[in-house]
């Protein structure tokens, strides 16, 4: 492990570490554009120039490996002059449209200009080379060739990660530009990552375009609920509206990427929401107080058990529920209602597309967690059969879908049950058929853990309180248990997870602190 000196500070790094990576490890910023830790090194932007003792010329930090005794300076007059010159060259033909650029607020060109530029342009605006603007190049991306600084991140991403290669350099000199091949628009499931890795405003998201300035947004660490991969993400919101999801680094799960379909999962937290508890009276559903809905639900569940036995009650869990919520669902079913009729299904409507990278056929974030907590799809199928045969008198159902049934099939099936209570986030066929509607919070309005397909338990956090009069599922379950005389004392997800770790073998020894930012594999997983 070589020892070297940078800006007067000594440090030891792993063999093969570049100057740029070594500087980042010890908190020294070296400006760069073309370098990305998950892509090959191009060395074409020349922003990361540094001075290395005994080297006659400045060196690029992204492709110069640290050696024993190396002495590096990043803050000399020679370095600053070179970096300022590179920046000026990039800005010669750059359009002056920062006020209308979606990248404003997170633009590398803006940020470095404020640190290393602040110079007056020696190039007249009318002499700038003009290129094509606002090009729909396919996928989720809009291209503005005038803003491009030719860093080649996008080209390398499409060659090395998706291996589809739709973008390349065209023309020469100051007319060089990035573009798609004629007749070959972006055609892969990961185009949104191009907007993430573009250091300027050349590649922007169609979906996020002109929706909100980034400095108005807050972020919270979360997990993508779109499939069982469990990509680590950051959810960006303003007040109680979610605007976008961006990938968060986790070497063990999604590296630095996420799929296009997962990026649009945020819409489910905004649209068609159930925001107030309700009861069906006289054939129509009317708003009601939470106490009334909880009392009615508990009363009907208890009444069914007393009149017809525990087999007359069924509980259907959701693989979109957290491990903590599923733990309480099972506890409510098995210990409070004394029924064995509790199950779940991972089947969902629509295509079950998958690939060999991140997208899984299972479109739920916590199917594996449900299995580890004792829920089975076989029991779900038996419950459906019992409902069809008129044997279920009271049903407590979580989630917004019921397997891969159509809306008409859901309505027909649930019409066989005298009382249906629905705990869900969005309106749909289930809530329309329910006699009691208990609105629950979305994944960005509550905290907890999901277990992905590989058995990795990962934490997600609440960004803002539940919208409207919705509650998180833990509050709802504790309220139901209280009405049923259980007297649970679970003030929040931390207390539930501690109880879960103490009682369920695959989660033994886990805690939120132990999960950290990368999660931990459950003990029962291969």
What pLDDT digit, counting tens, does each position of 313-332 carry?
Answer: 999 999 999 999 999 999 99
What average pLDDT does range 76-93 have in this prediction?
90
| Averaged pLDDT of the chain | 94
Confidence of residue 441 (pLDDT cuts 50, 70, 90): very high
Neighbouring C-beta atoms of residue 70, cutoff 10 Å: 19
pLDDT of residue 376: 96
3-state secondary structure of 258: coil
* Structural domains in the chain plus CATH codes: 3-91 (3.10.20.740), 126-269 (3.30.70.20), 278-521 (3.40.50.740)
pLDDT of residue 96: 80
User: Count H helices, E strands: the chain?
Assistant: 15, 23
What average pLDDT does range 153-162 have in this prediction?
97
Choose between 98 and 195: higher pLDDT: 195
What average pLDDT does range 238-244 have in this prediction?
97
pLDDT of residue 122: 75
Instruction: Please name the residue that has the structure tokens 């010159």.
Output: 85
pLDDT of residue 476: 97
What average pLDDT does range 363-383 have in this prediction?
97
Confidence of residue 515 (pLDDT cuts 50, 70, 90): very high
pLDDT 10s digits, 482-499: 999 998 989 999 999 999
Decide if pLDDT at 121 tops 80: no
Contact assessment for residue 469 and residue 275, using Cβ atoms and an 8 Å cutoff: yes
What average pLDDT does range 34-45 have in this prediction?
94
pLDDT of residue 249: 96
Decide if pLDDT at 526 tops 60: no
DSSP track, 496-508: HHHHHHHH-GGGT
Decide if pLDDT at 383 tops 80: yes
Contact assessment for residue 354 and residue 262, using Cβ atoms and an 8 Å cutoff: no
Decide if pLDDT at 114 tops 90: no
Which residues touch 276 (CB under 8 Å, ≥6 apart)?
Answer: 287, 439, 468, 469
pLDDT of residue 144: 95
Three-state SS across 263-275? Answer: HHHHHHHCCCECC
């Amino acid at each position: 492990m070589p020892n070297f000196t940078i800006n007067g500070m000594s440090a030891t790094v792993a063999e093969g570490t570049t100057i740029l990576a070594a500087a980042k490890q010890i908190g020294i910023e070296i400006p760069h554009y073309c370098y990305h830790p998950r892509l090959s090194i191009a060395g074409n932007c020349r922003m990361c120039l540094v001075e290395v003792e005994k080297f006659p010329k400045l060196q690029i930090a992204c492709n110069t490996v640290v050696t024993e005794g190396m002495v590096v300076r990043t803050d000399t007059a020679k370095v600053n002059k070179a970096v300022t010159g590179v920046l000026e060259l990039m800005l010669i033909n750059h359009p002056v449209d920062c006020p209308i650029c979606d990248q404003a607020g997170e633009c590398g060109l803006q940020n470095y200009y404020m640190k290393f530029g602040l110079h007056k342009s020696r190039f007249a605006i009318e002499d700038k080379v003009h290129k094509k603007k606002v090009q729909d190049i396919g996928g989720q991306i809009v291209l503005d060739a005038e803003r491009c600084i030719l860093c080649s991140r996008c080209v390398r991403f499409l060659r090395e990660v998706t291996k589809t290669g739709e973008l390349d350099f065209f023309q020469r000199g100051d007319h060089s530009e990035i573009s798609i091949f004629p007749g070959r628009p972006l055609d892969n499931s990961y185009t949104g990552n191009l907007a993430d890795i573009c250091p300027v405003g050349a590649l922007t998201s169609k979906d996020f375009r002109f929706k909100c300035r980034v400095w108005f947004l807050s972020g919270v660490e979360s997990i993508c609920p779109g499939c069982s991969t469990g990509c680590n993400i950051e959810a960006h919101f303003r007040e109680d509206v979610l605007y976008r999801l961006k990938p968060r680094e986790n070497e063990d799960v999604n590296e630095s990427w996420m799929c296009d379909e997962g990026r649009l999962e945020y819409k489910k937290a905004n649209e068609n929401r159930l925001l107030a508890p309700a009861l069906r009276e006289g054939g129509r559903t009317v708003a009601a107080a939470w106490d009334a809905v909880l009392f009615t639900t508990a009363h009907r569940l208890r009444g069914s058990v007393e009149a017809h036995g525990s087999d007359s009650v069924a509980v259907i869990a959701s693989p979109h529920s957290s491990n903590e919520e599923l733990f309480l669902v099972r506890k409510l079913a098995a210990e409070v209602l004394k029924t064995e009729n509790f199950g779940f299904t991972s089947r969902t409507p629509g295509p079950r597309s998958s690939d060999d990278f991140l997208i899984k056929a299972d479109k739920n974030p916590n199917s594996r967690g449900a299995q580890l907590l004792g829920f089975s799809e076989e029991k779900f199928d038996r419950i459906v059969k019992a409902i069809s045969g008129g044997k279920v008198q009271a049903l407590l159902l979580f989630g917004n879908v019921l397997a891969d049934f159509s809306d008409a099939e859901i309505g027909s099936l649930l019409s066989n049950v005298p009382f249906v209570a629905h705990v869900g986030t969005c309106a749909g066929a289930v809530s329309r058929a329910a006699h009691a509607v208990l609105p629950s919070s979305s994944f960005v309005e509550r905290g907890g853990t999901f277990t992905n397909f590989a058995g990795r338990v990962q934490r997600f956090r609440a960004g803002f309180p539940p919208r409207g009069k919705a509650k998180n599922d833990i509050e709802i379950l504790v309220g139901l248990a209280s009405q049923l005389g259980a007297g649970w004392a679970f003030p929040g997800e931390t207390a539930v997870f501690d109880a879960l770790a103490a009682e369920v073998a695959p989660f033994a020894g886990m805690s939120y602190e132990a999960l950290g930012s990368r999660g931990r594999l459950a003990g029962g997983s291969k």
